[in-house]
Amino acid sequence: MTVSLLSIRGIQDDYLLSGSSLTVTSGIIEVLDGVTASIDASIISPARITKVDPGTLHVIGSAPDVTVNAGTLVVASTGTVQDLTIGVGTTTVLNGAAGTAVNGNLINNGTLVVGGDLNGSGALEAGDIDLMMGHLATSADYDAHYDLVPDGVVDQLDADDLILSRLGTRYGDANLDGTVDGGDFNQWSQNRFHSGTGWSHAAFNGDGVTDVRDFNV
């Protein structure tokens, strides 16, 4: 499909453009405030694509050179961008491996979030798991930062992706050393029946309480 300009607006929250490649000849994609749009096939443009308006654009396939002038761009774990320019006041989330999501040059004058680093610390750790679990437990609003397995919903698959794939460990590994053993049991033992606890305190299921349900994982 070839269009001169793609404008995604309306009262619904989510749009998914799926199927064949999309050619945007003027190179502008507008996604209005409050709207999340996902393009699951490749975007092709003879011009640099410019993302405008405050909504969220989620690229699941490949994209040419992209400039983010407003809002949020999410490059899914399956997505790639040629050159990427992140403008002042905008946010880009790279949910794939940072070294492979951008094929060419990356210029960042805004905020760059690497997939899974949900607390923005620059590393993946227990605090990121706690945010993911908290989001799963409490939030009804879609937030692309958490959609690590890019399917437009945040669910257990995304938590599993963070814990099993990105952190390379298992439920039960409180100290994130890659094995579930006596050190993790000690965390459970010291924190059992405490509330307000997180992953590093052996509260693995995100309910904020270290109890027998966590022992059983």
Nearer to Ca ion, 53 or 184 (CB): 184
| 111 to 43, 58, 74, 161: CA distances (angstroms) | 23, 16, 12, 23
Do residues 33 and 11 touch, judged by C-beta distance below 8 A?
A: no
Instruction: Using DSSP, state whether 4 is helix, strand or coil.
Output: coil
Nearer to Ca ion, 147 or 211 (CB): 147
18 binds Ca ion (CB under 5 A): no
214 binds Ca ion (CB under 5 A): no
Interface with Ca ion (CB under 5 A), residue total 12
**Nearest-approach distance from CB 200 to Ca ion, in angstroms:** 10
Nearer to Ca ion, 17 or 176 (CB): 176
Catalogue the E-assigned strands of 42-149.
43-44, 49-52, 56-59, 62-63, 66-68, 72-75, 80-81, 84-86, 91-94, 106-108, 111-114
Interface map 80-119 toward Ca ion (x if CB under 5 A): -------------------------------------x-x
DSSP one-letter code for 216: T
d(CA 86, CA 62) in angstroms, rounded, equals 17
Q: Which two tokens stand for residue 19?
A: 């199927």
Cα separation of the two ends of the chain: 48
Identify residues 133-192 at the interface with Ca ion (CB under 5 A).
147, 149, 151, 158, 173, 175, 177, 184
**Nearest-approach distance from CB 126 to Ca ion, in angstroms:** 9
Nearer to Ca ion, 14 or 177 (CB): 177
Residues interacting with Ca ion, by CB under 5 A? 117, 119, 121, 128, 147, 149, 151, 158, 173, 175, 177, 184
